[in-house]
Structure 1
Amino acid sequence: MTSCSPTPKKIIVFGSGNFGSCLADHLGDSEHEVSMWSREKSFVEYFNEHHKNPRYLKDHSFPNTIRAVGPDLPDADFVKRIDVLLFAIPTQGLRSLLARLRPSLDDAHLPLLIFVNKGIETDTNALTLEIIADTCGKDIAKVSTFLSGPSFATEIVRRQPTMVSIASLSEEHAERASLVFHQPWFRCYRGNDPIGIELAGALKNVYAIASGMADGLGYENNTRASLITRGLSEMTRIGVAYGANPLTFLSMAGVGDLFLTCSSLTSRNYTVGVRLGRGERLEEVLETLGSVAEGVTTAKGLKAITDDLDVPAPLANAVYQVLYEGRNVREQAQALLERPMVKELDLPGKSGGPARALMKKLGIEL
């Protein structure tokens, strides 16, 4: 395939899971030189010998432009030669990884940092932007970039047309990140609201669990469409209360990813919901899922955020109660259906507290 990239880059992808692997494949096929880091020595050896991922996308052959590295983290000399650091590990492990990697980053010649993880850190309720500020400093946080959108890994490696959102507080860095990824089969749309992009990417996983629960209970298309629409309304309300731009939730990272994740068994979070709706126990579902469903941990962080913001979130609260309070799925669904009538579209009167606090940490006044 013909590349649209201006010049090939040296890229390291931290994470060899489903999404990290498919992005490494896309970048390697776009004429970039890609290293994919794994903490498992057996993975590194297998991938470099067979050019296949033994755990995800097992039938796919990866380009020879990709090389696996690890399990040790790359040292400062290695990082110095890298143009782009792409982070594709679960949010709960990001703080530790960044803290270990920070001494290898040269602030005077900083590579482009792109984050594709989706979630809220459970112990702190922090978004990735804040985790970056805490571990790497405000100057690095202000130029970090975030990619999110409707992008199943199995379709990316088959070069199905895919479109995503890329956002940063720095317009220059958002454009640079877009140029790294942009191809006719992988279109990038830039924005300047990383907080909104992060919230949308994290919250949609919780609503995907709700959508799956409804399907598992036997509800059909009307119900799913209603849940997706009300989920969009709810996550927009939460986002605005947090301090995000409401238009961000109409983006690829917002309604685009929400629709995809809420309507396909390819979605891990939707699958968790379906199985819970059919009566399986959460512990059994997670043990046999085969990969991480970030909506399960995100539901806990989201509950703390909505409580703190005092913003109504009945769908997210119902998911939380099933996951962490042992509530019955069918009873929760019935309770939602019996709620009093409410105004369809509303935004909170007060907004922006957490975002203002985070921007202040970064030295930016809103």
Structure 2
Amino acid sequence: MPRSRILVLGAGNFGSCLADHLADSEHDVFMWSREADLVQFFNEHHKNPSYLKDHDFPPNIRAIGPALPEAEFIKSVDVLLFAIPTEGVRSTLTQLRPRLDEKDLPLLIFVNKGIEISTNALTLEIVADTCGKDIARVATFISGPSFAKEVVRRQPTMVSVASLSNSHAERASQVFHQPWFRCYTGNDPIGIELAGALKNVYAIATGIADGLGYENNTRASLITRGLSEMTRIGTAYGANPLTFLSLAGVGDLFMTCSSPTSRNYTVGYRLGKGETLEEIMRTLGSVAEGVTTAKGLKAVVDALGVPAPIANSVYEVLYEGKDVAERAQSLMELPPLRELELPTQVGEPVRSLMKKLGLDG
């Protein structure tokens, strides 16, 4: 891949690690942060004072901010990589839209994982709302098992890359692909998004179980039943059920549900140990998107009318104050169920989105 100018929007854990990876891949990388102190410290020391604190970043990363870059700078970059929480995507895109040249559009790549609370929208729909259908149709999404601390140590990592445009998925793959970072392309960005968002909710459930003192049988069961729920919800939404067997699906789910490094798992574990959500969020030190995603997911599940007892239980613990031990017991007391069954009514949300994108015909 030719050397590219890349702007990473977001200097958090994942944004920083991807900036590091891309700079090490010989791209020219700029990393935007809203925090002026972080920008100054990073440029002086090549370290992030808030995330991956012990890591030395390559000299070809320059931090910029706190203001968003102007149109002239945006036009000079080849790739815009969005590594900000889902709740901030709409406002950021709204500000950026007038600065984008549709005739010479940079490659737009999104790595956030979540559902917007106020609208229940996935990022692809947010892009369509703020930037129009033509830009949304070429937006690209990357997801998969990729803890930041392991990426910066060049541990072998593999991810899913998806877009409605095969050529843009291929371009994104070429930008990121390295011997230590393999990319696999696909054409189901909605499934990739749903898998990346939903697995955080099931990681909270698994953390709760571990915090309550349950062991391997329970964890394996929760991961498997979580995958079943994710696939059922995604299929009803209109995603390809096979996407949930991908790196972005079962790969990311397994990792997030089985490692104390996961922020979402940590939230669940501490809930299982009896801490309040308020105390956990005050002291966590970073964003756990599963907490907000659980609220958006509850609305999506209710609208689709699909059974999702694990996801609903997480919502009740987080937002209705239900006791974690009682909810765990309630799940175990459900009547016997058919193990593998996909919904018969599928696809209405995706059909509506495709119509918005002008792809319904």
Unaligned segments of structure 2, at least 5 residues: none
CA distance in structure 2 between the partners assigned to 1:308 and 1:79 by the alignment: 38
What residue number does 1:173 align with? 168
- Distance in 2, matches of 1:88 and 1:25, equals 13
State whether structure 2 residue 280 is matched by structure 1 residue 285: yes
Which residue of structure 1 lines up, in the alignment, with residue 97 of structure 2? 102
Q: Does 2:332 align with 1:340?
A: no
Which residue of the partner structure matches residue 264 of structure 2?
A: 269
Aligned: 1:306 with 2:306: no
Shift of 1:365: 1.4
Query: 1-side partners of 2:282 and 2:35: how far apart?
Result: 20
Q: Can you list the C-alpha shifts for 1:76-105, whole angstroms capped at 9, x where unaligned?
A: 110111000000000001100000011110
Task: After TM superposition, give the deviation of residue 279 of structure 1 in Å.
Answer: 0.4
| Structure-1-length-normalised TM-score | 0.98
Structure 1 residue 229, shift from structure 2 partner: 0.2
Q: Distance in 2 between matches of 1:342 and 1:71?
A: 52
1:46 aligns with 2:41: yes
Distance 1:309 1:79 in 2: 39
Q: Matched residues, percent identical?
A: 76
Partner of 1:131 in structure 2?
126
> Residue 356 of structure 2: which of 354, 357, 361 is its match?
361
**Equivalent residue, structure 2, for 1:11:** 6
- Indicate the residue corresponding to 1:149 in structure 2: 144
**3-state SS of 1:315 partner:** helix
Alignment of 1:120 with 2:131, yes or no, is no
Code of the aligned partner of 1:66: I
| Aligned pairs (5 A) from 1:189-268 | 189-268=184-263
* CA displacement, residues 261-297 of structure 1 (integer Å, 9 cap, x when unaligned): 0011110000000000000000000000000000000
Counterpart-to-counterpart distance in 2, 1:74 and 1:325: 41
The AA in structure 2 aligned to 1:189 is: Y
Deviations 1:10-36 (Å, cap 9, x if unpaired)? 000000000000000000000000000
1:185 deviation in Å?
Answer: 0.2
Residue 317 (str. 1) matches residue 312 (str. 2):
yes
Match among 318, 321, 326 for residue 321 of structure 2: 326
- Corresponding residue of 1:69: 64
Q: TM-score, normalised by structure 2?
A: 1.00
Alignment gaps of 5+ in structure 1: 1-5
| Secondary structure in 1 matching 2:159 | strand
Name the structure 1 match of 2:183.
188
**How far did residue 195 of structure 1 move?**
0.3
Which secondary structure does the structure 1 equivalent of 2:34 belong to? coil
